[in-house]
Amino acid sequence: MKWHADPNFSTFRIGRRELVIHRDIASQSAQIMQKLGEITSAVEAGAGNRKSAYRLDLDGGVELFARRGRRGGMIASILNDVYFGMTPRPFTELALTIEAMRRGIPAAEPMGAMVEWIGPALYRGLFLTRAVRGMTLWEFVKTDDDPTVRRHVLEQARAAIDIMHTKGLFHADLNLHNLLVTQARDSFRVIIIDLDKSRLFDAPLSLAMRNANAARLVRSARKLDPSGKFLDASALSILNPEI
């Protein structure tokens, strides 16, 4: 999906930086740009799988979560956070996440994106969501040793994935780091994050695509937990009934 003007978002451009931000916090755009600029030049690593996650505290008690675009694999040692293209991925992800939430897919609320152009078709980017308190599914299964609670959370993760598939979203990088466990009153819910490489379709996903997503998730679990200490065969069968 490409970014198109949205009545709930405003666009600001200062120098090489282009910010699309939710109208609820548009009055704080200068502060947001400054803080995001500090992140793009920061030496300190952030949190998360690729050390790219940062929390932003704004005036008035507003809390945002910023994810800095960082490459993985061998190319990361060369380009790190530099991307090519005239259609920046953070803006594409913003459009896709807005539509995903409109469809009822449990995702973190998108609040904006910023691109810093460093040359023709070269940029660094950041994606913004409203801050959500919780931990990744991988962190959760390592922390909570109550089998009843663990099973409940895994079932919540499976339910979130089923909704995602029914609503037509294919997550190309579904793994235990991209499922966030949050408190929901006296229970838990699971939301899906990092839709950077995702695709939206106009119909529910085919069985083949659902199985591909589920298999990707199980591979990530086995890679993180090869001995099955935290996720045994029974737990994995909740995430993917096909195994």
Catalytically active residues are 173
CB atoms within 10 A of CB 89: 17
What letters, b where the CB count within 10 A reaches 16 and e where it falls short, cover 116-144? bbeeeeebbbbbbbebeebebbbebbbeb
Amino acid at residue number 208: A
What letters, b where the CB count within 10 A reaches 16 and e where it falls short, cover 15-44? eebbbbbbeebbebbeebbebbbebbeeee
Residues 93 and 196: beta-carbon distance below 8 Å: yes
For 78-129, the three-class secondary structure string (H helix, E strand, C coil) is HHCCCEECCCCHHHHHHHHHHHHHHCCCCECCEEEEEEEEEECCEEEEEEEE
Amino acid at residue number 158: R
The pair phi, psi for residue 20, each rounded to 5°, is: -110, 120
